[in-house]
Every structure is written in C-alpha cells, then in structure tokens.
Amino acid sequence: MSINFLKTTGTLGADLRALRKSRGITLIDLSEKMGRSVGWLSQVERDISSPTINELRQIAKEFQVPLSLFFGSSEAKANEVGRIVRKSARRKIGGGAIGLVEELLSPDLTDDFEVLRSVFNPNAKLENFVTRPTQEVGYIVSGNLNLWIEDEMFELESGDSFRIRGEQFKWANPNDKNAIVIWVIAPPIY
Amino acid sequence: MSINFLKTTGTLGADLRALRKSRGITLIDLSEKMGRSVGWLSQVERDISSPTINELRQIAKEFQVPLSLFFGSSEAKANEVGRIVRKSARRKIGGGAIGLVEELLSPDLTDDFEVLRSVFNPNAKLENFVTRPTQEVGYIVSGNLNLWIEDEMFELESGDSFRIRGEQFKWANPNDKNAIVIWVIAPPIY
DNA sequence: ATATGAAATTTTAACACAAAATTTCATATA
DNA sequence: TATATGAAATTTTGTGTTAAAATTTCATAT
C-alpha cells in the first residue's frame, strides 16, 4: 500500500498551454506577469520541467481558475490518461456561480470544445446575464432548469436540450432537487 | 384542431448547407449530381425556395443521411427554433450500426460540433473499427459500454467519459440493458 | 542541477493576387 | 404567373511572399 502523492492528471503541460492560448496570452506576457523566464515557461508547457505547487498556484491565479483544475480526485491509470475520465476522477472547475458545481468530462483542455457536467443545486440561480463568444449546447440529464436566452425564457425538463450562441443568458433551478446538465462549450473557456 | 402537416424543423436551408460543407462538396458538384441548376440549389440553402419531398429525398440520398434528419417528430414552437430541442422532437439519425439509435440534441447542424444522444441496445456491438478525422467526447449516462480505442479496451460505467481523436475505435454493449451515451463530435459529420 | 536570456527557429499575421464558389437577375419555361 | 435557368457580378477562399511575432534551443551564469 502506497502513500497518495499529489499528482496532476498527466496532461499538465498541454493543459497549461491550452489555457494560455484560450486567453490569448503569449509566453512573453505570462512570463513577465509571473517574473519568470520565457524559456522556463516554455519548458513547463512541454513537460520538460515541472512547476512547484506554488508556481502552479501563481499560474492558476493569473488565469483565474481554481488550482483544482489541474488535479483529478484520484489518479488515472497510465493507459487511460488523455482517453478516459473515470467518474471518481473528474476535475473540479469552481469559479462559477454559487449553487453550481462543475466538473470536466473532457480528459484535458486541448480539444476544440469542452464537455462539462454541471450540477445546479436546488433553487440556485444566476442573477446576472452572462455573455460569451462561444457556441454552447446543453442537455438536461435530470431535474429542471429555467433558461433565459436574450429576451426569452424557457422551462427545460429532463431530456430537453438547448443552444446558446454568443447570446446573453442566465439560469435558475426552480426545483427542490438538483438539476444535472451536460454542457458543451466551443471554443474552450477553461 | 388542425391536421399535422409535414414540416421541417425550421432550419432546413442552413442544415443543408452545413451538411454539404461538412462533406466538402460545392454547389456546382451537387447541382451536377442532382441535375438541377446551381442557382436553384443556392436558393434552397437560403430558404428562398423550398424543395419538394422528392428533391429532399434525392439530396438525403446524395449525402447518405436518412430523410428523417430533416424532420423532428413534432413541430417546434416558433421561439424555440434554433434554440431548444424538446425531448419529443429530436431528429433521428439512422445510418449507423444496428442496435444503435442516435438522435440529435443540437438544434441544427451549423455549430462547430454536434451533440448526439446514442442508445446502445443490449448486446449490440460494432464489429469493425471506425476511424474519423474528428475529436469526439462521450459521457455514459447509464448502462455500460466497452470501448476499444486503437489497441486498448476500456470498460466504461455510468458516469465515465472518454475521448477519441482520429483514432480507430469500436464498441460493444456487454449488458442486457440499454446503454445511453451523450456523444460530441467536432467537426460535424452529419 | 536548474534558470536565464540571447540567438536560432518556427509559427502566425498581413498583403496582394488569382481562382473558385456563390449570389443575383434578366430571360426562358411550364 | 410562379419558378428554373444560366451567364454576369460579386464574394469567398486559396496561394505565395514577406515581415513580425512567438517559441524553442542552448551556452553560460547562478
């Protein structure tokens, strides 16, 4: 029986690069903000050198993502890295609204889209409209979700799906039970 | 009480164009194959003129998609067109393997990705490997699915997810109950 | 042993031009 | 009288070139 070391999901460098690109930041920009050299950052993103936890924390802060984005709750088997995400090993993506728990179903951040599993807690709601330059499709696995897109409101039930394309939206869970939604976003925002 | 006319989902022109583009076919190519004029086709894709059922059937055949792709099983409300797909109005996407029922969760074919809901019947299996130049992510909603990617086999359970990136794959439902999978494909293949 | 920063390399951006694809519309057709 | 055609007009996409920007490499310093 071995001690559980803190391990990333095995795709750290590629994830960091994808994250940086999705924000339109260059290595030069980031290195200046972090006070590190460009060469070092380049190596980190290619898994040639590995950042300490503190450095990783600094990067996470720079991109406004939770540190948890880089860690699955359990370790992936070697042959599953980049291919399979087990239910027990999904990465938490915090940062969003309260009453909303998001986890990543994609194995890393390098695809042209991202797939999330979102749990909307009972009576949770997003107060203010959000707009993103993305195409998003969601599917209600269970529960109910009220969705406002521009000036329309839709009452969605289990089995319904929706699309948002750069339009402003907000949501509310009108029920006393969780709503579970599979949510696809392109291009990636995390 | 009114008679139910055969109505497309309200996104026919755009869907036809997306479908044609996804196959890398030009209006000229298609018009020659169909024996119709380029101008007319152009107008169909812009909803300026509407094809007859026979013409639509001809197009469907040309693209090797079922005619059902263009019809939801019930009519969408005007303000939901292009935004919401109700559980009862999903479009059937046949053509795949036997023992597999696929429905479209995306409201049309014009996104950078497509979201499907696939039902794998008990003990259904895909005999031969498939390879597509796509990025695909799937999420097991319920049931079990065995998935082969290249030379590895994975036993997936409810809650697990996977990614396939241009790799050859095949699948089998090892159970006596349906497996339900939300499947995302980019770029679109339908 | 690791990080740095300047040099070397690779990638992306910005044009300009040609080719291809699509739209428009006056006319023919049913 | 509405619809389809096909040639002309327009728009979009592709190609090749060069410069700028971004990234990688690697000899040296820490």
Arithmetic mean of pLDDT, A4-29: 85
What is the structure's pLDDT at B110? 94
A117 and A177, same structural domain?
Answer: yes
Pairing label, strands B169-172, B144-149: antiparallel
Mutate to test the interface with A, among B77, B79, B104, B105 (most CBs of A within 10 A): B105
Give yes or no for residue B45 having a pLDDT over 50.
yes
What is the structure's pLDDT at B77? 86
State the pLDDT confidence band at B2, using cuts at 50, 70 and 90. very low
B161–A105: do the CB atoms touch at under 8 Å? yes
Arithmetic mean of pLDDT, B152-174: 97
What is the structure's pLDDT at A183? 98
Arithmetic mean of pLDDT, B92-102: 86
State the pLDDT confidence band at A158, using cuts at 50, 70 and 90. very high
- Distance measured from the CA of protein residue A155 to the C1' of nucleotide C11, in angstroms: 47
Angle at B167 between CA A137 and CA B138, to 5 degrees: 30
- Distance measured from the CA of protein residue A114 to the C1' of nucleotide C3, in angstroms: 34
B182 and B107, same structural domain?
Answer: yes
Q: Taking the CB of residue A73, how many other CB atoms lie within 10 A of it?
A: 12
Residue A80 maps to a domain: no
Nearest-angstrom CA–CA distance, B20 and B78 = 26
CA distance B12 to chain A (A): 17
B113–A112: do the CB atoms touch at under 8 Å? yes
B102 and B50, same structural domain?
Answer: no
What CATH number is associated with residue A170? Answer: 2.60.120.10
Give yes or no for residue B5 having a pLDDT over 60.
no
Arithmetic mean of pLDDT, A53-72: 90
Q: Is the CB of A26 under 7 A from strand D?
A: yes
CA distance A57 to chain B (A): 27
B111 and B146, same structural domain?
Answer: yes
Mutate to test the interface with B, among A77, A105, A147 (most CBs of B within 10 A): A105
Comparing CB atoms, the residue among B85, B105, B184 nearest residue A113 is: B184
Residue B178 maps to a domain: yes
Of B135, B74, B82, whose CA–CA distance to A110 is shortest?
B135
What is the structure's pLDDT at B4? 38
Laid out side by side, the sheet with A152-157 consists of: A152-157, A144-149, A169-172
What is the structure's pLDDT at A7? 65
Arithmetic mean of pLDDT, B53-79: 87
A105 and A140, same structural domain?
Answer: yes
What is the structure's pLDDT at A165? 95
Mutate to test the interface with B, among A147, A163, A167, A180 (most CBs of B within 10 A): A163
Least confident range from A11-25, A28-42, A87-101, B77-91: namely: A87-101
B162–A106: do the CB atoms touch at under 8 Å? no
Of B20, B55, B70, the domain-final residue:
B70
State the pLDDT confidence band at A6, using cuts at 50, 70 and 90. low
Residue A171 maps to a domain: yes
Number of domains in chain A: 2
CA distance A7 to chain B (A): 20
Give yes or no for residue A69 having a pLDDT over 50.
yes
Q: Is the CB of B28 under 7 A from strand C?
A: yes
What CATH number is associated with residue A33? Answer: 1.10.260.40
Q: Is the CB of B27 under 7 A from strand C?
A: yes
Give yes or no for residue B16 having a pLDDT over 60.
yes
State the pLDDT confidence band at A160, using cuts at 50, 70 and 90. very high
Residue A7 maps to a domain: no
Which span out of A78-87, A152-161, B38-47 was modeled with the highest average pLDDT?
A152-161
State the pLDDT confidence band at B6, using cuts at 50, 70 and 90. low
Q: What percent of chain A has pLDDT over 70?
A: 96
Nearest-angstrom CA–CA distance, A54 and B113 = 37
Helices marked H in A23-155: 27-34, 38-45, 53-63
Q: Is the CB of B40 under 7 A from strand D?
A: yes
Give yes or no for residue B88 having a pLDDT over 80.
yes
Question: Strand C: which residues 42-101 of B lie within 7 A (CB)?
Answer: 42-43, 45-46
What is the structure's pLDDT at B78? 87
A66 and A17, same structural domain?
Answer: yes
Q: Please, which residues have CB within 8 angstroms of residue A32's CB and are 6 or more apart in sequence?
A: none
Q: What is the pLDDT of residues A105-142, one digit of tens each?
A: 999 999 999 999 999 999 999 999 999 999 999 999 99
Q: What are the residues of chain B with a beta carbon less than 8 Å away from any beta carbon of chain A?
A: 79-80, 82-87, 105-107, 111-113, 115, 117, 135, 137, 139, 141, 149, 152, 154, 156-165, 182, 184, 186-187
Start-to-end CA span in chain A (Å): 35
Q: Is the CB of B36 under 7 A from strand D?
A: yes
B186–A113: do the CB atoms touch at under 8 Å? yes
The domain containing residue A26 runs over which residues?
A: 12-70
B105 and B38, same structural domain?
Answer: no
What is the structure's pLDDT at A3? 35
Arithmetic mean of pLDDT, A89-94: 90
Q: Token pair 């969705």 is at which residue?
A: A147
Q: Is the CB of B26 under 7 A from strand C?
A: yes
Give yes or no for residue B136 having a pLDDT over 80.
yes
A32 and A113, same structural domain?
Answer: no
Residue A142 maps to a domain: yes
Nucleotide nearest to A50 (CA to C1'): C2
Residue B26 maps to a domain: yes
A103 and A60, same structural domain?
Answer: no
A135–B111: do the CB atoms touch at under 8 Å? yes
For chain A, give the mean pLDDT: 92
CB A174, CB A156: distance < 8 Å: no
Residue B30 maps to a domain: yes
What is the structure's pLDDT at A2? 35
Residue B78 maps to a domain: no
